[in-house]
């Protein structure tokens, strides 16, 4: 079969593949614990449900303006002002099907073939693939010192005349690290000086712990909304636990929004008004839900850290935000795919191999699930990876058998 070169170069989304594997095992009655999944367990906010239900029962479900319903854009303007102290116009905003489509539209709009986009490791799995899909080249910068934040000088070293953009995701999926203010400031000032776009993926920006905040990139730009090189990507998926509603948005200079609107008009036309109404409900409804999710995640993070403390061989940096940790499992081998597979086969615990995030030897563990899953999941992992552990064991009320498969 003749398949395009670009499509052939795109790898499957490992997180979505693992979700599917876990679902199939669960369907067969297997006691799977899913520490791979990147979504909170909470139900969507009631304001979101009521608002989308009202739209649905009105029966008036038609195309909307390509760049989004004016009322949702108004809510986004307010959100941007309240959270970022940035006053922008409706023409600076475009709503898409999740932050993922935002990033695709954006990179499609910005990049010529062979342009380079700098991606900082550890990175969200989709960045390099989306960059490749638009014909551009991902240039990965890795921290040299075992930390999760590269030195800014190492980033500058890879900048070339082909560099079009840099993606910054803080707090970071998969490490949970917040990029320090000095790093963000240097990144913004450098990009604005050099005419490089800085894409701030802020999808987790309020899920931060211990009183910390993630310094937002736009804070360090003193340019007006039409001149800034900082582009803000955001959405309702993570903060409101609304992953299935597929609503994200971009705040950018209007010239860019205009072109992204053309791109979207020729692909999806617009986002479903039922889902846009849900996002509007979430943004304009009671915001306590975000704080309560943040507190739950902070507590889950603490539970996971406690469990990992007694996991001999595993080293972990405490996540400062998100709902992911990226512990170092190199004591059990350098092949994170093999370790992850062993854990699924022997202990029925889903983890995501660090290789997918540009951090071989690590595993990404999500703490978005329940405390019970975290404690039992880690107990099973310890049992499965310890060569000395007995062949059969009860963990909670579950009998575990080492040669399960």
Residue 92's nearest CA partner among 251, 248, 228 is 251
The window from 96-104, 217-225, 290-298, 372-380 that contacts ligand PMP (CB under 6 A) reads 96-104
Question: Is residue 220 close enough to count as binding ligand PMP by CB under 6 A?
Answer: no
Say which residues have a Cβ less than 8 Å from residue 214's Cβ, sequence separation at least 6: 170, 171, 178, 179, 202, 204, 205, 208, 321
| Of the residues 68, 176, 216, 248, which one makes contact with ligand PMP according to CB under 6 A | 248
| Of the residues 171, 235, 285, 358, which one makes contact with ligand PMP according to CB under 6 A | 235
Is the Cβ–Cβ distance between 257 and 225 less than 8 Å? Answer: no
For residue 362, the minimal CB distance to ligand PMP (Å) is 16
**Assigned token pair, 331:** 């004591």
Whose Cβ is closer to ligand PMP: residue 95's or residue 191's?
A: 95
Pairwise CA distance, residues 124 & 10, whole Å = 15
b/e burial code for range 228-240 (CB count within 10 A of at least 16 → b)? bbbbbbbbbbbbb
For residue 201, the minimal CB distance to ligand PMP (Å) is 5
| Of the residues 73, 100, 355, 380, which one makes contact with ligand PMP according to CB under 6 A | 100
The window from 97-105, 260-268, 280-288, 351-359 that contacts ligand PMP (CB under 6 A) reads 97-105
* Segment (H or E) for 140: strand 137-141
Question: Is residue 203 close enough to count as binding ligand PMP by CB under 6 A?
Answer: yes
For residue 39, the minimal CB distance to ligand PMP (Å) is 8
Question: Is residue 173 close enough to count as binding ligand PMP by CB under 6 A?
Answer: yes
Q: In what order do the strands lie in the sheet with 163-169?
A: 93-96, 248-251, 230-235, 197-201, 163-169, 116-120, 137-141
| Of the residues 14, 36, 38, 150, which one makes contact with ligand PMP according to CB under 6 A | 38
Question: Is residue 14 close enough to count as binding ligand PMP by CB under 6 A?
Answer: no
Largest CA distance in the chain: 64
Whose Cβ is closer to ligand PMP: residue 126's or residue 340's?
A: 126
Say which residues have a Cβ less than 8 Å from residue 248's Cβ, sequence separation at least 6: 95, 96, 97, 98, 99, 100, 101, 102, 203, 233, 234, 235, 236, 237
Q: How many residues bind ligand PMP (CB under 6 A)?
A: 13
For residue 98, the minimal CB distance to ligand PMP (Å) is 3
Question: Is residue 124 close enough to count as binding ligand PMP by CB under 6 A?
Answer: yes
Chain contacts with ligand PMP (rule: CB under 6 A): 38, 98-100, 124, 169, 173, 201, 203, 235, 237, 243, 248
């Amino acid at each position: 079969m003749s398949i395009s070169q670009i499509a052939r170069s795109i790898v499957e989304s490992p997180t979505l593949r693992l979700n599917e594997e876990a679902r199939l095992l669960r369907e067969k009655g297997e006691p799977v614990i899913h520490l791979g999944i990147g979504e909170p367990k909470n139900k969507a906010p009631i304001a979101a449900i009521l608002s989308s239900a009202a739209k649905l029962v009105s029966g008036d479900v038609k195309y909307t303006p390509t760049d989004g319903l004016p009322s949702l854009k108004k809510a986004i303007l307010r959100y941007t002002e309240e959270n970022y102290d940035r006053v922008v116009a409706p023409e600076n905003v475009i709503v898409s099907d999740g932050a993922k489509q935002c990033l695709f539209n954006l990179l499609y709009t910005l990049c010529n073939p062979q342009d380079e986009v700098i991606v900082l490791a550890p990175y969200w799995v989709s960045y390099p693939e989306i960059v490749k899909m638009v014909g551009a080249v991902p240039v990965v910068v890795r921290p040299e010192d075992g930390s999760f934040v590269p030195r800014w000088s190492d980033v500058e070293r890879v900048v070339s005349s082909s560099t079009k953009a840099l993606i910054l995701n803080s707090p970071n999926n998969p490490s949970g690290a917040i990029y320090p203010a000095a790093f963000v400031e240097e990144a913004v000032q450098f990009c604005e000086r050099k005419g490089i776009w800085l894409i701030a993926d802020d999808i987790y920006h309020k899920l931060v712990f211990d009183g910390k905040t993630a310094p937002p990139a736009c804070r360090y730009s003193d340019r007006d909304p039409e001149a800034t090189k900082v582009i803000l990507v955001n959405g309702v998926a993570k903060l409101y636990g609304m992953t299935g509603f597929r609503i994200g948005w971009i705040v950018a200079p209007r010239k860019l929004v205009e072109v992204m609107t053309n791109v979207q008009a020729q692909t999806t036309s617009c986002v479903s008004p039922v889902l846009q109404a849900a996002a509007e409900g979430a943004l304009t409804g009671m915001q306590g839900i975000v704080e309560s999710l943040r507190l739950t995640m902070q507590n889950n993070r603490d539970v996971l850290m406690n469990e990992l403390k007694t996991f001999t061989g595993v080293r972990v940096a405490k996540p400062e935000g998100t709902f992911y940790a990226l512990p170092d499992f190199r004591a059990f081998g350098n092949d994170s795919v093999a370790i992850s597979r062993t854990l699924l086969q022997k202990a029925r615990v889903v983890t995501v191999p660090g290789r997918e995030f540009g951090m071989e030897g690590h595993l990404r563990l999500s703490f978005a699930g329940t405390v019970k899953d975290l404690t039992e999941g880690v107990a099973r992992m310890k049992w499965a990876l310890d060569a000395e552990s007995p062949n059969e064991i009860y963990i909670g009320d579950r009998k575990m058998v080492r040669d399960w498969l």
